[in-house]
Amino acid sequence: MASSHFLYNSHHLYSSNSQINSFRNVSLSLSSSYRVRLSSSFGKKPQFQRTQLVTVMASGSKTDRKQVEIVYDPDERLNKLADEVDMDAGVSRLTLFSPCKINVFLRITSKREDGFHDLASLFHVISLGDKIKFSLSPSKLKDCLSTNVPGVPLDDTNLIIKALNLYREKTGSDKFFWIHLDKKVPTGAGLGGGSSNAATALWAANQFSGCLATEKELQEWSSEIGSDIPFFFSHGAAYCTGRGEIVQDLPPPISFDLPMVLIKPPQACSTAEVYKRLRLDQAISIDPLTLLEKISREGISQDVCVNDLESPAFEVLPSLKRLKQRIIAAGCGQYDAVFMSGSGSTIVGIGSPDPPEFVYDDEEYQDVFLSEASFITRAANQWYTEPFAMNASSSPADISHSV
């Protein structure tokens, strides 16, 4: 009998060579097949990618019992729906890399009357990031957000939704979206993952709308929903002041081939609690511009990677101080600098992509997040792109969860 080719969707089964409606009884069952993908570096196990299979059982008076397996690809289904939403749209779907950042140094210079603090910091984008898929939605009422990890809010408290609402408010755009967030950057890490997601959403919405706004306008608007978001509209390296929203783009001050490792315990530091414990009179008095000049001239070293939030963060989470001390001691000169990013709780080791052995051997650290990374930037009028297959693990025993 000639083979039949089926396209399955949520409403119908179509056949190119026969009419499925001629069968009196049709039953569906779901199974899964797996493709193995191998990862090196931290990799310990093969990675499995899941593909849904639909098995169709059919019988009729004039036919024998038949079985057909159909591959169901959810991504392809969403892509087809997106194409049907607006055939005239210049862009109907978009997948973007949403990288995080580290603070190479972070000085807190004063407390403001509005309760915020003024800071001076060298922000730099790194190659660890999330992936966000955007598709036009037929809805004119709301966006629909999904994600691959639990605990991420999916309503309008999420910075992605806030950013899309902000864009519509500023431009009058009537476009709404399906968004899927493949989360790889840990939350509560001091890496600005949520801020990056918001900036990426603003950039995406602007592409879907034919670039109604300039990047400068997007950058200015973004400060209304988060202090760190404007930084991501730099080219990847910037000296940031004010609450963080005053962004001075810099030529890349650090080599792109300089590796690093990120080590984050499962505990997060409350940013509010860290700032509450900050004592400005006990902070070092070095001029942040001196730090910037030294990094530009001599590169990264332990003495320039100053973070005024480390001491209060270590009070909030004493185990974080012990982790930093052990990394420095175990590194034996392996790292050019070891420091905390932002308000924590990620410890960064610059100079090597490899974590110290005790992270693998000590049960206390079996649930830490690990990732290698490097410094990256972006070209003018383009968004950030993932430079290579990053390796990140939720624990030393697991391989990377690829996005």
Distance CA 10, CA 140 (A): 22
Catalytic residues, by residue number, are 101, 228
CB-side neighbour CA atoms (13 Å) of 38: 1
Residue of 313, 296, 315 whose CA lies nearest to 304? 296
Single-letter amino acid code for the residue at 230:
P
Q: What is the pLDDT of residue 332?
A: 87
Single-letter amino acid code for the residue at 336:
D
CATH no. for 93-374: 3.30.230.10
Tokens of 56: 């169709």
pLDDT of 372 above 80: yes
pTM of the predicted model as reported, rounded to 2 decimal places: 0.78
Residue of 122, 38, 108, 176 whose CA lies nearest to 300? 122
Per DSSP bridges, beta strands 144-147 and 177-182 are parallel
Q: How confident is the model at residue 90 (pLDDT cuts 50, 70, 90)?
A: low
pLDDT in tens, 286-343: 999 999 999 999 999 999 999 999 999 999 999 999 999 999 999 888 999 999 999 9
